[in-house]
């Protein structure tokens, strides 16, 4: 999601995240049997580029980037739209800057909206019950960019340090976050040049993360970071602990000429056989619903914006196999567990509260 500043050329070709995307080249989105693809929602009037998606109970929250400057330099606001399960608009929240990361705090049941992933980041926490918003600032970033996405593990919060200014990147790529007095304090967890084990080869070597981006948590409680322009996922076990371990999974897809690197965005892990996937396409201005008679619990799906397609991810080889094709630029993607009325998959400790 970082570096997704969007420019509209005279020929209506978009340059997004370094990719040249022609909306006219996008066919009608389609998925093979036994999948069923339908439209969940289209962009409300005046809004565009839907991306991050969060789910709380029967309500869905979608952030619209609107093509604003990813460093907030244009002084414009973004919108977070709340929908019912049938795609009807309930409420629209305004946040300052370019919204990119949007996640549900599964303990406090509040939404964290991160803005300005390239520079000058801020955080807005939304209470869906009262609709009140709390604004937080970050101090100067050690890596030189902004913050893109957030995940929750118990009472700990982690964010991705996006758009680093250094190459090689010796700054933090993942930080822990703590709130206090209107500010977000951060501490390094994984550095951009950390040693990592390459999953397909077993070889250990230093990383050079030039595009830390989307984050999620896998079924084993590991942080999964997408380093988008680097075409790889970074998997972190036991973050912030002495036995922390970092793995690297290069992302590819199969082409007529062999395996090719894939630039991906969001990844989601299936938490139940009974559920569905929601994903957003920033070019088509549409959020889609992907259904199936049954999903394989533990399997992973990824939005590949360099495909562009949404597909299944083999977490051993890193191969992404297309499922939904004919897309423009897929981004935000979540699996919704239909057997859990609280919404997204994740670490829930209802009844316990955290000091954020």
pTM of the shown model: 0.90
Q: Tell me the per-residue pLDDT of 142-167, one tens digit each, with 9 for 90 and over.
A: 999 999 999 999 899 999 999 999 99
- From residue 52, give the alpha-carbon distance in Å to each of 9, 90, 283, 301, 349: 25, 17, 14, 15, 24
Q: Are 331 and 48 in contact (CB under 8 A)?
A: no
* Across 110-119, average pLDDT: 98
- In a 3-state reduction of DSSP, which class is residue 230? helix
Q: Tell me the per-residue pLDDT of 313-340, one tens digit each, with 9 for 90 and over.
A: 999 999 999 999 999 999 999 999 987 7
Q: Give the residue among 299, 338, 337, 294 at the shortest CA–CA distance from 321.
A: 299
Instruction: Report whether pLDDT(228) > 90.
Output: yes
Residues 6 or more apart whose Cβ sits within 8 Å of residue 23:
12, 13, 14, 283, 284, 328
Residues paired with residue 81 on neighbouring β-strands, in sequence order: 62, 92
Q: Are 200 and 213 in contact (CB under 8 A)?
A: no
Distance CA 268, CA 237 (A): 17
Instruction: Report whether pLDDT(5) > 60.
Output: no
Q: Tell me the per-residue pLDDT of 121-138, one tens digit each, with 9 for 90 and over.
A: 999 999 999 999 999 999
Distance CA 322, CA 325 (A): 7
Domains in the chain: ranges and CATH: 6-337 (2.120.10.30)
Q: Tokens 């036995």 sit at which residue?
A: 243
Cis peptide bond prior to 308, omega within 30° of 0? yes
* 317 burial level (CB within 10 Å; 0-12, 13-18, 19+): middle
Distance CA 52, CA 58 (A): 17
**Mean model confidence pLDDT for the chain:** 91
Distance CA 352, CA 340 (A): 18
Q: With bands split at pLDDT 50, 70 and 90, how would you rate the model's confidence at 342?
A: low
pLDDT of residue 256: 86
Q: C-alpha 300: how far from its chain's center?
A: 14
């Amino acid at each position: 999601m970082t570096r997704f500043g969007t420019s509209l050329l005279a020929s209506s070709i978009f340059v997004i995240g370094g990719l040249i995307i022609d909306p006219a080249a996008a066919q009608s989105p389609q998925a093979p049997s036994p999948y069923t693809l339908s439209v969940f929602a289209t962009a409300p009037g005046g809004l565009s580029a839907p991306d991050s998606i969060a789910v709380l109970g029967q309500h869905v929250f979608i952030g619209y980037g609107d093509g604003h400057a990813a460093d907030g330099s244009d002084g414009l606001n973004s919108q977070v739209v709340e929908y019912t399960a049938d795609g009807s608009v309930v409420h629209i929240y305004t946040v300052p800057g370019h919204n990119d990361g949007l996640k549900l705090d599964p303990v406090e049941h509040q939404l964290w909206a991160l803005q300005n992933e390239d520079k000058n980041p801020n955080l807005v926490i939304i209470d869906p019950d009262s609709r009140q918003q709390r604004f937080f600032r970050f101090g100067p970033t050690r890596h030189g960019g902004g913050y893109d996405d957030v995940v929750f593990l118990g009472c700990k919060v982690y964010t991705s340090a996006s758009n680093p200014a250094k190459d090689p990147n010796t700054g933090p790529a993942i930080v822990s976050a703590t709130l206090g007095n209107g500010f977000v304090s951060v501490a390094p967890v994984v550095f951009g040049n950390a040693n990592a084990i390459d999953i397909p080869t077993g070889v250990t070597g230093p990383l050079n993360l030039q595009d830390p981006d989307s984050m999620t948590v896998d079924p084993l409680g590991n942080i999964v970071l997408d380093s988008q322009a680097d075409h790889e996922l970074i998997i972190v076990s036991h973050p912030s602990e002495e036995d922390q371990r970092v793995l690297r999974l290069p992302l590819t897809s199969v082409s007529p000429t062999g395996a090719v690197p894939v630039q991906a965005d969001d990844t989601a892990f299936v938490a139940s056989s009974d559920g569905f996937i929601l994903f957003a396409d920033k070019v088509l201005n549409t959020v889609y619903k992907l259904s199936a008679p049954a999903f394989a619990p533990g399997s992973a799906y990824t939005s590949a914006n360099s495909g562009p397609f949404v597909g299944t991810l083999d977490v051993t080889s890193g191969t992404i196999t297309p499922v939904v094709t004919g897309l423009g630029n897929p981004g935000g993607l979540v699996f919704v567990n239909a057997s859990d009325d609280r919404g997204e998959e994740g670490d829930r400790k209802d009844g316990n509260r955290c000091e954020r």
